[in-house]
């Protein structure tokens, strides 16, 4: 009987000891998940037009274009996407330097296309 109780207590202690490990894994997964930033590309603006991210932060820019095909091109950060209506375009990246970086639409989308731009602010 004593031996059985000891084994039961040992199993309980072992289970309790693994809880912090499991909790740490859950926290690590939560920290590692990139922040998703939705961006809508419509004639002739990006919404939001100013996107702020932190240096070293993993993010995913998730573009949608409800009207016509659009483009996203940020030359300084070497980021590009073709945005087709009905097909969200995901651009994962982790900025490695701070600054203000311009981006444009690089797919002709109609009159006003030439002025379609936005800014990525990395703090
Ligand atoms: Cu355009």
For the cut 80, the answer to whether the pLDDT of residue 1 exceeds it is no
Q: What is the pLDDT of residue 67?
A: 98
Between 110 and 3, whose confidence is greater?
110
Mean pLDDT of the chain: 87
Q: What is the pLDDT of residue 24?
A: 58
Report CA(96)–ligand 1 centroid distance (Å): 27
Report CA(38)–ligand 1 centroid distance (Å): 18
pLDDT tens, 41-70?
Answer: 999 999 999 999 999 999 999 999 999 999
CA neighbor of 39 nearest in space, from 27, 28, 50, 24 = 50
Q: Which residues surround ligand 1, an ion (CB under 5 A)?
A: 105, 109, 113, 116
Report CA(33)–ligand 1 centroid distance (Å): 31
pLDDT tens, 79-106?
Answer: 999 999 999 999 999 999 999 999 999 9
For the cut 90, the answer to whether the pLDDT of residue 21 exceeds it is no
Report CA(12)–ligand 1 centroid distance (Å): 62
Contacts of 123 (CB under 8 A, 6+ apart): 52, 53, 54, 55, 98
Q: Where are the alpha helices (DSSP H) in the chain?
A: 2-32
Report CA(11)–ligand 1 centroid distance (Å): 63
């Amino acid at each position: 009987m004593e031996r059985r109780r000891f084994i039961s207590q040992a199993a309980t202690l072992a289970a309790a000891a693994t809880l912090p490990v499991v909790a740490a894994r859950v926290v690590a997964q939560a920290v590692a998940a990139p922040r998703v930033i939705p961006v809508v590309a419509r004639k002739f603006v990006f919404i939001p037009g100013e996107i702020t991210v932190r240096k070293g932060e993993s993010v995913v820019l998730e573009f949608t274009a409800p009207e016509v095909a659009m483009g996203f091109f940020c030359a300084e950060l070497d980021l590009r996407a073709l945005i087709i209506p009905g097909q969200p375009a995901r651009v994962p990246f982790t900025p490695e330097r701070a600054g203000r970086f311009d981006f444009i639409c690089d797919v002709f989308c109609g009159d006003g296309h030439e002025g379609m731009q936005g800014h990525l602010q990395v703090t």
